[in-house]
Structure 1
Amino acid sequence: MSSYGQKTKPGRQRLKRKEYIWPGSEVIGESGSILTYQKKKLEDLPAKCISLIISLTTPRAASRLALVCPAFRSAADSDSVWEKFLPSDYEGFGLEQESGKKCYMAGAKWIYENSGISHRDCEMIPSSAGSRFPEVIELKLMSSLEIEARFGTTIFSPKTNYAAYFVFKFAEFREGPETSPIDFEVYFEGTHNGKKRREFLDPQLSQDRGNRWIEIKMGEFSIENGDEGAVVCRLSEPEPLSKRGTIIFQGIEVRPEYGR
C-alpha cells in the first residue's frame, strides 16, 4: 500500500480524498476510469479569463505582462482591459469635431489614486467652474513635484499624431511665471531616451481654456496601429525651490494634433 493511494498498475494509483497528485500522473477515479492530470500554464486559460486577471492590475503591469507571451499580449492590448483602467469620472473622453478622432483627459483624482502624483502636500478639493471633473487637486507650497499618467495606446485613433497637455490654474491670480522651470516628458513605456521639454508655468505663454484654467503642452507622440503599449506623460521639477505658488491641477489631456 502506497502512502499516496492503492497501487493498481505500475505508474497508476487509486485517488483518495485530499491527496495531491503530481501533474502527468495517472490515477483511478471513483468510477474506475483512468484520469491523467496534465500541468496547465497560465496562458492556457481562456482569453476572457486572462483579460479579467490583467484588468485587475495596473496599466504598467499590463504593459509588462504583454511581453510574456502572445496570449498575454493579445489580452493586455484589448479594449476590455484598458477600459477597466479608465476612471469612472473619465468625462474627458470625446471625439474631435473636425476629424472625428478620439481624445482623452485623465482627471487629477484618478492620477493621484493610481500613484501618479509624488507630492507631500496636496489636497483633494471640489472643482470650480470650467473643470470637467467634480474634484481637482490643490498642490500647495512645495519643495518638489512629480506627476505621471499612463495611457494605453489602444484607446487612441490609429495613424494619428497626438499631443499631451498639462491643465491647471494658479490658486491666486498672477501675471508673471513661476521662477522654477518644469520638465515635461512624453514617451512610450520602455523607450525613454531622456528627451525633455523644459517650460515655465507662465500664464502669458500658456493657452487659456477659460475660467482661469490654462494648459501647457507636454509633448507629442504618434500612434500607428495602436499596439505601441502605453504612453507615459510625466512632469517633474528639476530644481525644486522652497517656495512656489499654489496651483490647482485638473488633469492631463491628450488630443490629436493638426497636420496629419
Structure 2
Amino acid sequence: MEENNSGILSLFSFLPEGCISSIIALTTPKDACRASTVSWVFNSASESDSVWERFLPSDYQEIISNSVDPPLNYATKKELFFSLCDSPIIINDGKLSFWLSKLSGKKCYRIGARELSITWVDTPEYWGWTSTPESRFSEVAELIYVCWLDIQGKMPSQMLSSRTTYAAYLIFRVTEYSYGLDVVAKASVQFADVIRNPSAISIDVNDESTNANLLEPETSSVYLIHSPCGDGYLQRSYRRHRRPVQQIAGRVPQLRTDGWMELLLGEFFNDEGNGDIEMKLSETSILNWKKGLVVEGIELRPKEL
C-alpha cells in the first residue's frame, strides 16, 4: 500500500502546481487541509488563493462589504475562509449574522429578533426589548406576558447556498421566572411561493421516508421547555392542566455551547434559490398565558454530518 501511495505521489510530482490546485479545489475545505500534509508539493498547492477562492461563496465580497463590524484583516483567502467560519460577522445594518460552515463552506445565517415578525412585539405590556452580552445582536426580544405566541421569520432563498439541505432553528433561552412554555407548540418551514414554484421542496423531518415532493408545509409539534415531569417553570396553579411531556410526541430544544437553546423548526432543500423561506413557531391558546421567553433570532445552517 505504501508503495502504491508513493507511486501516486510520484505521478503528481510531475504535474504543475496549478493543476494540483485545480484538483484540490474540487474537493472540500477539510480535504484541502489534509492534502497539505501529504507533501511539500501538495502543501504549496493547497495553500493557494485559487483553491480557497473556490471554497468561498461567489458573492463573498458583496457580503463582507455589508458588514457593520470593523473590516476583516486577512493575508490569504484561506485566512479569510477560516475567519468567516470562526467569527460570524453582522451584516445588513445589524439585521443578520453571517458565517461559513467549516466543513463545506456553505452559507449560514442568523436572523436577529428585530427582523422577525412577532405578534404584539411592540406592545410594552406583552414584549420588551433588552440587550445582553451573550447575543450577537444589539437587542433581543423578551416575552413579558402573552397568550398568543406567534414568531415568524423570512429569508430570501437566493441568499443561501443552492442545492443544499438547510435546517432552521429558533435561538432562545428562558428566564428563571418563566412559565406556560412547556405546552405543545407548532413549528413549520415552507417556501412562500411553493404553488408557483414546483422546484421548492419541503421536507418533513418526522418522516423517515422523506417525502420530498410535498408542496404543503409540514407542521411539527415542538416544546420550548423540556421537562420530563411536564412542570418546567410553571406556576403550581397551572400544573394540574398539563400532561407529562413524555406522553406527547414532539421535538425538544437542545442546549448549545454558547449558552443559548436551539429548537429545530424544520428542514428544506434549497434547489436553485427561488422565492422566500418562511419559518414559524406558534402556540396560541388563549387559556395559556406565557412568560419569560428570550428570543435572539432564527438560524439557518446546512444540514451536514
| Cα distance, 1:172 vs structure 2 | 1.5
The answer as to whether partners of 1:203 and 1:214 remain within 8 angstroms in 2 is no
1:237 aligns with 2:241: no
Q: Per the alignment, do residues 87 and 181 of structure 1 end up closer, same or farther by CA in structure 2, a change over 3 Å counting?
A: farther
In 2: Cα distance, 1:242 partner to 1:158 partner: 40
1:54-98 Cα offsets, whole Å, 9 max, x none, are xxxxxxxxxxxxxxxxxxxxxxxxx99xx8xx7411452010111
Whether 1:254 aligns to 2:300 is yes
1:184 alignment partner in structure 2: 187
The structure with the greater share of residues assigned to helix is 2
Distance 1:164 1:234, change over 3 A: same
> Is residue 115–residue 153 contact of structure 2 (8 Å, CA) maintained in 1?
no
| CA distance in 2 between partners of 1:194 and 1:140 (Å) | 30
SS at the partner of 1:93?
Answer: strand
Does 2:93 match 1:88? yes
The corresponding residue for 2:269 is: 222
Residue equivalent to 1:124: 129
Partner residue in 1 for 2:105: 100
* CA distance in 2 between partners of 1:156 and 1:241 (Å): 39
Task: Could you list the structure 1 runs, at least 4 aligned residues long, displaced by more than 6 angstroms after superposition.
Answer: none
* Structure 1 residue ranges without an equivalent (≥5): 1-78
For residue 97 of structure 1, give the secondary structure of its aligned residue in structure 2: coil
| Aligned counterpart for 1:200 among listed residues 195, 204, 223 | 223
d(CA) in 1 for partners of 2:92, 2:156: 13
Query: Which whole-Å deviations, capped at 9, do the CAs of 1:185-224 have from their partners, x for residues lacking one?
Result: 1000033625201111125642212454101000001111
Q: Which runs of 5+ in 2 are unaligned?
A: 1-61, 67-90, 195-214, 228-251
In the alignment, the residues of structure 2 paired with residue 99 and residue 179 of structure 1 have an alpha-carbon distance, to the nearest angstrom, of 36
Match of 1:133 among 125, 130, 137: 137
- TM-aligned CA distance change 1:131 to 1:87, over 3 Å: same
For 2:167, give the aligned amino acid: A
Closer, same or farther: CA 90–235 of 1 in aligned 2, 3 Å: same
Decide whether the 8 Å contact of 1:177 with 1:200 is kept in 2.
no
- Count matched residues: 170
Pick closer, same or farther for the CA change 1:89–1:237 going to 2, 3 Å: same
Change (3 A) 1:103 1:93: same
Q: CA shift at 1:171, angstroms?
A: 1.8
Distance 1:194 1:230, change over 3 A: closer
Q: Distance in 2 between matches of 1:241 and 1:171?
A: 21
Q: What amino acid is aligned across from residue 113 of structure 2 in structure 1? A: A
State the Cα distance separating 1:164 from its structure 2 match.
0.3
- Could you state the TM-score of these two structures normalised by the residue count of structure 2? 0.51
Distance change >3 Å, CA 142–CA 177, structure 1 → 2: closer
Please report how far the alpha carbon of residue 142 of structure 1 lies from its aligned counterpart in structure 2 after TM superposition: 1.0
- Mark the structure with the bigger radius of gyration: 1
